[in-house]
Amino acid sequence: MYKDIATPIRTQEILKKYGFSFKKSLGQNFLIDPNILRNIVSHANLTENSGAIEVGPGIGALTEHLARGAKKVVSFEIDQRLLPVLEDTLSPYDNVKVVHSDILKADVEKVIKEEMPGIEDIMVVANLPYYVTTPILMKLLNDRLPIRGFVVMMQKEVADRITAKPGTKAYGSLSIAIQYYVKADIAMVVPKTVFMPQPNVDSAVIRLIKHDEPPVKVIDEDFLFVVTRASFAQRRKTILNNLQTGLQNGKANKDKILEALEMANIEPTRRGETLSIQEFGKLADALHPTFSK
């Protein structure tokens, strides 16, 4: 049995051995609690036939736990300085592939085909860099990857927004953009004390499981997100005001917006945060003939 990487002493030893210093610009915060890592992996429900995709493996703390529970692990690491560290720390595991690449630029589907042939159950499991959490999630969702879902750690505030329900303060266009693709819930809250260096905020692990079918059928998915972003542009404003300012030529087409709201059975005086994803779907379809350019 190998010693866990994620203990304060072992982490310090590895950092010292390689003279590694944290880069703030890459949002590097390494986990130093093996129990939390085991917990994260347990939420992914991996089997010996599963594949795991990881983003930002750091020194391999989560990676090794994934390697113990999955058939194959592919980790995307942007920081070249960590490649020799990972080669060392993950040497006991022959089922791990480290890809030196920025996940936002990577062809993840191609990597899955090459590295995980025949693996049908794939999860993204990662401690995401806080500064690019949303772009990473949106890219991986928009890429329509052959995955079951995600178990990912992020800033708690972002996790609250992603999992928020209509009528709550945290609910917004991000909630809708993500919940359109997946069922989202917070699996666990993680205190800042279990990281090195300590971030300024608490974290949360969220579980996102892909829908078989989106919760609402729309004419144009991209336009749905245009409408939701416009609807939340200024939270204190009514849906009518926000759509007038947020949609192209919205002010000139106020009558068309009112017409669309009536068709979708939505009062113009309501605010964006009170609308369900189903209501946004109806509204987007009603606005589509006039505003989708």
Annotated binding residues for S-adenosyl-L-methionine? 29, 31, 56, 77, 102, 127
Q: Are 125 and 40 in contact (CB under 8 A)?
A: yes
| CB atoms near residue 289 (< 10 Å) | 10
Alpha helices in the chain (DSSP H): 8-18, 34-43, 61-69, 83-89, 108-115, 133-142, 156-163, 173-179, 221-231, 239-246, 254-263, 277-291
Identify the three-state secondary structure at position 180: coil
> Tokens 């920081």 label which residue?
79
Q: Are 128 and 153 in contact (CB under 8 A)?
A: yes
In the annotated binding site, the residues are 29, 31, 56, 77, 102, 127
Identify the three-state secondary structure at position 42: helix
How far apart CA 145 and CA 254 sit, in angstroms, is: 39
Amino acid at 71: K
Say if residue 119 is exposed, middle or buried (CB neighbours under 10 Å; 0-12, 13-18, 19+).
middle
| CB atoms near residue 214 (< 10 Å) | 16
Sheet holding 50-55, edge to edge: 96-100, 72-77, 50-55, 121-127, 149-155, 203-210, 182-190
Host H or E run for residue 188: strand 182-190
Give the pair of three-digit tokens for residue 30: 């390494």
188 beta partners: 205
